[in-house]
């Protein structure tokens, strides 16, 4: 499942995938894969992304039940 909330939060801070990746210590490809839903990040990476984007885990990674 695509993570459009992550992409939107990153874009709202005018950060490229490369910028976010550098701040989190991962590759741009990792950020891209997370946004496309091709990769499930570790909890530590989720927390790192949340800190950089000033969001909570729920805001970025919690999937609402349908």
Structurally, the chain folds into a number of domains equal to 1
Q: What's this model's pTM, rounded to 2 decimal places?
A: 0.91
Residue 37: both structure tokens together? 């839903």
The answer to whether 31 and 37 have CB atoms below 8 angstroms apart is no
φ, ψ for residue 55 (rounded to 5)?
-130, 165
Residue 66's pLDDT is what?
56
Q: Is the pLDDT of residue 13 over 70?
A: yes
The range of the structural domain enclosing residue 49 comes to: 4-56
Cα-Cα-Cα-Cα dihedral sign, residues 50, 27, 22, 44: positive
Q: What is the CATH number of the domain that holds 19?
A: 1.10.260.40
State residue 62's pLDDT score: 87
- Give domain status of residue 63, yes or no: no
Q: What is the pLDDT of residues 20-66, one digit of tens each?
A: 999 999 999 999 999 999 999 999 999 999 999 999 999 999 877 65
Q: Specify the pLDDT at position 1.
A: 82
**CA dist., res. 27 & res. 11, Å (int):** 17
Domain contains 43: yes
Note the pLDDT of residue 65.
62
Domain-embedded: residue 19: yes
């Amino acid at each position: 499942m695509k993570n459009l909330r992550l992409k939107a939060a990153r874009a709202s801070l005018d950060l490229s995938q490369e910028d976010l990746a550098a701040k989190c210590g991962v590759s741009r490809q990792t950020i891209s894969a997370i946004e496309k839903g091709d990769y499930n990040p570790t909890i530590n990476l989720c927390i790192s992304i949340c800190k950089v984007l000033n969001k909570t885990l729920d805001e970025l990674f919690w999937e609402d039940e349908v």
